[in-house]
Structure 1
Amino acid sequence: MKSQTIRRWSFIHTWSSLICTVFLLILCITGLPLVFHHEIEHMLGDAPELKEMPANTPRMDLQQLVKAAEAHRPGEVVQYFGWDEDEANGVYAFMGKTAGGDPNDTHTFMLDQRTGEAVETPSANGGFMMVMLRLHVDMYAGLPGKLLLAFMGLLFVLAIVSGVVLYSPFMRRLDFATVRPNKSNRVRWLDLHNLIGVVTLTWAFVVGLTGVLNACADLVIAQWRNDSLAAVVATYKDAPPLTERAPASRLLDIAQATVPGAEPSFIAFPGSRFSSEHHYAVFMKGDTHLTSHLLTPVLIDATDLKVTAIVSSPWYMDALLLSQPLHFGDYGGMPMKILWGVLDVLTIIVLGSGVYLWVVRRKAAATVKIAQTAEAA
């Protein structure tokens, strides 16, 4: 590789890395507890726990649960109901002042499907884990914060690519994984920086790309609403505002009959972000480990409970849904979470060593310049 090309790639690698380093450190530090959020919530006692009851205890229907949620939070409306694999008898209720309110203003709690009893979930409404999540997702800056992090993610990917280009000729001079112990601290850290960078290469690239996609989730969802969702509710454009809606009791039966073999993931109530002003949207998921992350929305008229359509899921929505669990290592249970945690710590070392190498190099260059000036005087 020509020296001019090396200098160009070195410039790209140095500055793309430095610009995104602070943000990447924040993302790595906050991402580490998020990988183990289930375990941390249980350790902190923030995970909701339902009462022990006989296995054959009947469950309330959805409309009864809606009433229970509204009684628990008077003056608010139900935006979503969501099901969690960890608690078979619980359903999460998401409530706000309005159906389409800011997601950050939503209050989340669990309802016992057998009794309608509300169980608070502190980690979903504040506390340590919510602080970590907000810092990781948008740094408390909303959409501008998400887009800034998306840009930093792109710089991180560029730093990875440029690092690979620079490391290729370096490998021709030394064997793989060589760390020269008899050299200076700078050289040893350079060798470790390159070694750890190569080891974490694929993981960092995948996490970087999925992070960019997740940071653009608001834009992806908005495109889905304006494209797929808008197409199937076009006939409701001039319909009068919904003043009274049919009870939610039969929603799951209707959705399961429409998409046989699927299970409910969550229900979006009329007026919420994932539905229309005139529909319930029941999002159904597959029964395999992969298809459980892909959702099929069944749109049900909120007046007469007739199925309006099964909303198509474009490739960009599928990509977003698949990228979210991959980003946090949710595909392979605890072994994969541990692997994700180790790789996260190694990435922090790569970022820190990169800053150290840049500082040392700048100091060395300044020392040489001073010496040259003194000789010329």
Structure 2
Amino acid sequence: MLSPTALRRWSWTHKWSSLICTLFMLLLCITGLPLIFHHEIGHLLGTEVEAPPMPAGTPRASLDQVLAAARAEYPDRVVQFASQSDEDDALWFVTLTPTPAPTEDFKSIAVDGRTAQVLARRPVDQGFMYVMSRLHVDLFAGLAGKLFLGLMGLLLLVAIVTGVVLYAPFMRKLAFGEVRRTKSPRLKWLDLHNLLGIVTVVWALVVGGTGMINTWADLMIKYWQYDKLSALLAPYAGQPTVPAAERSALQPALDAALAHAPGMKLSFIAFPGTTLSSPHHNTFLLRGNTPLTSRLLQPVLVDARTAQVTAAPQLPWYLTALLVSQPLHFGDYGGMPMKVLWALLDIATIVVLGSGLYLWLRRKAPATAGSNAAQPGSSNTPAASAQGASA
């Protein structure tokens, strides 16, 4: 059992970690709700691109033809990345930018992988889902915004853990789940805050933890490139980026990558000189066929001149953790039932956060008849001043 001094310390930590992160967590929960259903909302708004139906066995165009079709739309740009749709591998998305360097100025072209015909020129910097995504990922502030949200995620985890510690002394005179409806509005909200907080605690830990990991993605990739990839590229030291005119055809390079990792499928391609590749390689990121392995990537580096595989390094544990956490954060593992569950828990967490803010704002409200001071969790107890037992 916690001593009064320990209880005050836990309460102080819970109170301030909650207060500092609450508004930002509310923003993330509100923006995260539509992102759970981003595919379904895209279909509803007509922004989701679909390849037209064709007979089974329709031959595929080569990767070179697909990229040529995309480049024809913006001949003054270079191809940075290309990816196949997770839902339909007949659909390619090609990203073009002014230079291979990292930039926010990019165009996305959807190309039919069978006919090499352009299907759509997707706007990537406008619309409702774009705003929701940028607010959720980085607050329109790039890496600084991501790291700031990561700090808020850490405070959320502190608030959750301290709230769980405070829950037992708070509930010592109440039945589990009891809401004192005959008491003051503040006490009713305090009970509801604690009930929803303890019910959603595991989900909040999972989503808060995975969200915090996701904010470190850029730094993790840069560290991997510095720590592991640089050793693999030692034979190319001092050589400039391979000019486009000296690069081999891409379809043989893709075939070589797939042959090197039988049973895997293409997810993503990064071209020479871009963020996720080297100046000398086409980097093919391959994925497995099961719900779990489809989220894990195997990089295969193929020499841009010779179309020969030169390396296929295993991803380190921290990048594996990142890849696993990304779909878990949005409930992408279990289809629609898991998405609905994630949405319901998200809404419950919004209530927890909102009620915690309400309890803080009403902390100096006068007690109603019957004196709240005699009630566990009243405004005079450390647990109540800490906004209850959850974030």
TM-score, normalization: structure 2? 0.90
Change (3 A) 1:264 1:72: same
Partner of 2:325: 323
Partner of 1:274: 276
Q: CA deviation at 1:43?
A: 0.1
Partner of 1:75: 76
Partner of 1:199: 199
Q: Is the 8 A contact 1:76 1:98 kept in 2?
A: yes
Q: CA deviation at 1:123?
A: 6.0
Q: Is the 8 A contact 1:62 1:250 kept in 2?
A: no
CA distances 1:163-215 after superposition (whole Å, capped 9, x unpaired): 00110112222111111111111111110000000111000001111111101
> Quick one: which amino acid aligns to residue 349 of structure 2?
T
Q: Is the 8 A contact 1:228 1:313 kept in 2?
A: no
Q: CA deviation at 1:19?
A: 0.6
Q: CA deviation at 1:240?
A: 3.8
Matches of residues 137-216 of structure 1 in structure 2 within 5 Å?
Answer: 137-216=137-216
Change (3 A) 1:69 1:122: closer
- Find the aligned partners of 2:314 and 2:150 in 1 and give their Cα distance: 26
Partner of 1:128: 128
Partner of 1:375: none
The root-mean-square deviation of aligned C-alpha atoms, in Å, is 1.5
Partner of 1:227: 227
- Find the aligned partners of 1:177 and 1:123 in 2 and give their Cα distance: 48
- Find the aligned partners of 2:334 and 2:350 in 1 and give their Cα distance: 23
Report 1 or 2 for greater relative contact order, CA contacts < 8 Å, sequence distance ≥ 6.
2
Q: CA deviation at 1:86?
A: 1.8
- Find the aligned partners of 2:125 and 2:88 in 1 and give their Cα distance: 19
Change (3 A) 1:124 1:266: same
Partner of 1:355: 357
Q: Is the 8 A contact 1:123 1:129 kept in 2?
A: no
Q: Is the 8 A contact 1:108 1:125 kept in 2?
A: no
- Find the aligned partners of 2:122 and 2:10 in 1 and give their Cα distance: 47
- Find the aligned partners of 1:54 and 1:222 in 2 and give their Cα distance: 43
CA distances 1:317-336 after superposition (whole Å, capped 9, x unpaired): 00000000000000000000
- Find the aligned partners of 1:178 and 1:123 in 2 and give their Cα distance: 50
Which deviates more, 23-32 or 50-59?
50-59
- Find the aligned partners of 2:149 and 2:303 in 1 and give their Cα distance: 38
**The residue matched to 1:265 in structure 2 has which SS?**
strand
CA distances 1:313-370 after superposition (whole Å, capped 9, x unpaired): 000000000000000000000000000001111111000000111111134489xxxx
CA distances 1:61-104 after superposition (whole Å, capped 9, x unpaired): 011111111101221111111111322311111111112322x3
Q: Which has the higher helix share?
A: 1
Q: CA deviation at 1:222?
A: 0.6
Partner of 1:115: 115
Q: Does 1:291 align with 2:287?
A: no
Partner of 2:387: none
Q: Does 1:54 align with 2:63?
A: no
- Find the aligned partners of 2:177 and 2:101 in 1 and give their Cα distance: 53
- Find the aligned partners of 1:105 and 1:117 in 2 and give their Cα distance: 23
Q: Does 1:105 align with 2:105?
A: yes
- Find the aligned partners of 1:350 and 1:58 in 2 and give their Cα distance: 53
Segments ≥4 residues shifted beyond 6 Å: none
- Find the aligned partners of 1:193 and 1:353 in 2 and give their Cα distance: 6
> Quick one: which amino acid aligns to residue 115 of structure 2?
T
Partner of 2:263: 261
Q: Is the 8 A contact 1:47 1:123 kept in 2?
A: no
CA distances 1:207-227 after superposition (whole Å, capped 9, x unpaired): 111111101111011111111
Q: Is the 8 A contact 2:241 2:273 kept in 1?
A: no
TM-score, normalization: structure 1? 0.94
CA distances 1:114-160 after superposition (whole Å, capped 9, x unpaired): 22222226464421111110000001001111111000000000000
> Quick one: which amino acid aligns to residue 135 of structure 1?
L
Q: Does 1:338 align with 2:340?
A: yes
Change (3 A) 1:307 1:326: same
Which deviates more, 18-27 or 230-239?
230-239
> Quick one: which amino acid aligns to residue 181 of structure 1?
R
Change (3 A) 1:122 1:66: closer
> Quick one: which amino acid aligns to residue 266 of structure 2?
P
- Find the aligned partners of 2:102 and 2:181 in 1 and give their Cα distance: 58
**The residue matched to 1:356 in structure 2 has which SS?**
helix
- Find the aligned partners of 2:350 and 2:121 in 1 and give their Cα distance: 31
Q: CA deviation at 1:295?
A: 0.5
Q: Is the 8 A contact 1:47 1:121 kept in 2?
A: no
Q: Is the 8 A contact 1:245 1:303 kept in 2?
A: yes
> Quick one: which amino acid aligns to residue 307 of structure 1?
V
Q: Is the 8 A contact 1:48 1:121 kept in 2?
A: no
> Quick one: which amino acid aligns to residue 43 of structure 1?
L
**The residue matched to 1:69 in structure 2 has which SS?**
helix
> Quick one: which amino acid aligns to residue 354 of structure 1?
G
